[in-house]
Amino acid sequence: PVEQTFAIIKPDACKEHKDVIMRRIKESGFAISDMKEINLTHEKAAQFYKNHEEKPYFNELVDYMSEGPSMIMGLSKINAVEEWRNLMGPTDPELAQQTSPNSLRAQFAKSILKNAVHGSSNTKHAIESIELFFKEITAEEDEATA
């Protein structure tokens, strides 16, 4: 079935490799259903990664994710969640280089933390993330102008 996943081109990769990553996404047959470039606030990054709150890398992760603009997207395709995870490759770029040298993380990740891209692990997370980032625009704009 056609499904949706949620994707982020993280700040360093967005600055250095946005065009080539966007091209790889389109060449791989994803339709981009939602897209915007935003600089995540600390609060938003912490909210998005709340499941990692207890991890030793949490603060570094939140700093990294709010250091500059990210490209955030809803991607649709048959089997989008798994297909996007395959295109990204494993979280750890060393493993990515061994097992999937053509993956985005093999090519663009700098470390397990600065791993270039994010993708939802399942459709439930995908829907939650798309709602978090694309269905709260009015509230955010209200906050920004308040």
Confirm whether 118 is a catalytic residue. Answer: yes
If DSSP codes are grouped into helix, strand and coil, which group holds residue 59?
helix
Would you give the DSSP letter of residue 120? Answer: -
Total number of residues that touch ligand CMP (CB under 6 A): 8
- Comparing CB distances to ligand CMP, the nearer of 32 and 112 is 112
Residue 112 binds to ligand CMP (criterion: CB under 6 A): yes
Angle in degrees, CA 35, 121, 86, rounded to 5:
80
| Rounded Cα–Cα distance for residues 10 and 101 (Å) | 20
Please give the C-alpha separations between residue 67 and each of 4, 9, 15, in angstroms, as whole numbers.
27, 13, 11
118 binds ligand CMP (CB under 6 A): yes
Q: Which of 42, 52, 118, 125 is catalytic?
A: 118
Q: How far is the CB of 137 from ligand CMP (least distance, A)?
A: 22
The terminus-to-terminus CA distance of the chain in angstroms comes to 42
Residue 127 interacts with ligand CMP (CB under 6 A)?
no
Residues in contact with ligand CMP by the rule CB under 6 A? 52, 57, 61, 91, 112-113, 115, 118
Residues labelled catalytic: 118
